[in-house]
């Protein structure tokens, strides 16, 4: 959980300073998790200046519309009838020669609060290397914040903590159900959680799997999380019921995502066989799962030895290729999944 805590702790510290009117001349916000970048920039936009001051002293601009010279010239202006001016640059990764911001950051204007929202593209590492001097100066002169994506196994705890701050409870199974279908995009998850909160009766402070099914459309009984669990238990009846549901609801349950979920599940089972330390805590740490679910993987490992896991990996590769038309002219995805699950279980 270290990555989550590091990002969250940094975020909380920045917001606490802003609440205490401790402002820095530069906030360089970057990373592949946009949720916290947006939260910090939105807080600055909403709270640093009064409504009257914003009219003349707050500017929000987008990287695709400006040059780095525009940013520097704006930042060097003085505020009008205010102690500060706020300049928020969104999508700053689209600014050509962003590295030239180094020129301004050597002597930033104390009365300017410059917020750079930098969301790296797919080639972000190469670009971040070119921004080394800028990021180092941001650390010296103000705030440098890097928001990293959480791993999937960290998301359920994030959901639990998010709701806890709002005095709402959710059990781990329901949190995993949300994670299964929403992935690890925190902005998307928080949006869905807010929708769920609105649907709760005034006297109800608990989100359940039933709430999720009724309001988001995720079945609490027929989902990839329950399918892998049924496979791990070798529960033939349950697995076939879920597969049948998937076959009749193919658009909501893409074959490729189901195969990926099964593959990830059996990779964990395979790895478990070779762990020397099979304590609950070590299994959770090495497999990247919540300790609550370690018993499930231990049970599955007793039913699937390493050789069977290797056979399953081969099956998954074969059926993934067949789903893409290789050696398959007519079998639909629903029937392919039925065949695949049958072979895994037998």
Q: Give per-residue pLDDT as tens, 135-146.
A: 999 999 999 999
pTM of the model as a whole: 0.76
Residue positions counted in the chain: 346
Sheet containing strand 143-146, edge to edge, reads: 58-62, 85-90, 112-118, 26-30, 143-146
* 3-class SS shares of the chain: helix, strand, coil, % to 5: 65, 10, 25
Q: How far apart are the first and last CA of the chain?
A: 37
* Long-range contact set of residues 16-25: C-beta below 8 Å, sequence gap at least 24: 18/43, 18/44, 18/47, 18/48, 19/47, 23/48, 23/84, 23/113, 24/113, 24/141, 24/142, 24/143, 25/108, 25/109, 25/110, 25/112, 25/113, 25/114, 25/141, 25/142
Q: pLDDT digits over 288-331, tens only?
A: 888 889 999 999 999 999 999 999 999 999 999 999 988 877 78
In the chain, domain spans:
2-146, 152-216, 224-345
Q: Look-up: residue for tokens 């700053």?
A: 92
Q: Which residues make Cβ contacts (< 8 Å) with residue 262, sequence separation at least 6?
A: 227, 228, 231, 312, 316, 340, 344
CA distance 172 to 156: 7
Q: pLDDT digits over 226-243, tens only?
A: 999 999 999 999 999 999
Architecture of domain 152-216 in CATH? Orthogonal Bundle (1.10)
> Nearest 5°: phi and psi at 330?
-140, -20
Instruction: Output the CA–CA distances (angstroms, integers) from residue 330 to 66, 154, 322, 333, in the order listed.
Output: 52, 40, 10, 10
What CATH number does domain 2-146 carry, 3.40.50.300, 3.10.450.50, 3.40.50.2300, 3.30.420.10?
3.40.50.300
Would the pLDDT of 2 be above 60?
Answer: no
Q: What is the mean pLDDT of residues 30-46?
A: 95
Fold of 224-345: Zinc Finger, Delta Prime; domain 3 (1.20.272)
- Two structure tokens written together for 273: 């066989």
DSSP state of 64: G
Q: pLDDT digits over 92-114, tens only?
A: 999 999 999 999 999 999 999 99
Single out the residue of 156, 152, 146 nearest to residue 120, CA to CA: 146
Is 224-345 in the same CATH topology as 2-146?
A: no
Would the pLDDT of 129 be above 70?
Answer: no
């Amino acid at each position: 959980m270290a990555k989550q805590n590091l990002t969250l702790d940094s975020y909380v510290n920045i917001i606490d300073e802003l609440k205490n009117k401790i402002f820095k001349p530069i906030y360089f916000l970057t990373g592949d998790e946009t949720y916290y970048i947006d939260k910090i920039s939105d807080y600055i936009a909403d709270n640093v200046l009064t409504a009257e001051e914003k009219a003349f002293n707050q500017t929000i601009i987008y990287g695709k519309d400006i040059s780095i010279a525009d940013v520097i010239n704006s930042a060097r202006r003085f505020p009008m009838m205010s102690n500060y001016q706020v300049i928020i640059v969104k999508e700053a990764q689209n600014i050509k020669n962003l590295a030239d911001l180094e020129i301004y950051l050597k002597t930033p204007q104390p009365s300017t609060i410059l917020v750079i929202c930098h969301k790296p593209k797919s080639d972000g590492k190469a670009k971040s290397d070119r921004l080394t001097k800028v990021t180092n100066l941001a650390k010296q002169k103000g705030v440098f914040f890097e928001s990293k994506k959480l791993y999937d196994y960290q998301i359920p705890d994030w959901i639990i903590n998010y709701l806890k701050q709002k005095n709402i409870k959710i059990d781990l199974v329901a949190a995993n159900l949300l994670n299964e279908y929403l992935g690890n995009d925190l902005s998307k998850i928080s949006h869905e959680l807010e929708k769920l909160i609105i649907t709760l009766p005034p006297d109800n402070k608990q989100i359940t799997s039933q709430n999720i099914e009724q309001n988001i459309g995720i079945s609490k009984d027929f989902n990839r999380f329950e399918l892998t669990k049924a496979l791990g238990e070798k529960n033939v009846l349950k697995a076939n019921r879920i597969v049948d549901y998937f076959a009749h609801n193919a658009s909501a349950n893409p074959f490729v995502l189901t195969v990926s979920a099964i593959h990830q599940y059996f990779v964990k089972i395979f790895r478990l066989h070779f762990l020397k330390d099979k304590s609950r805590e070590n299994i959770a740490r090495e497999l990247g799962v919540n300790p609550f679910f370690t018993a499930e993987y231990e049970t599955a490992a007793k039913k699937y030895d390493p050789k069977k896991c290797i056979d399953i990996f081969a099956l998954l590769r074969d059926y993934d290729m067949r789903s893409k038309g290789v050696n398959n002219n007519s079998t639909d995805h629903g029937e392919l999944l039925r065949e695949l699950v049958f072979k895994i279980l037998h």
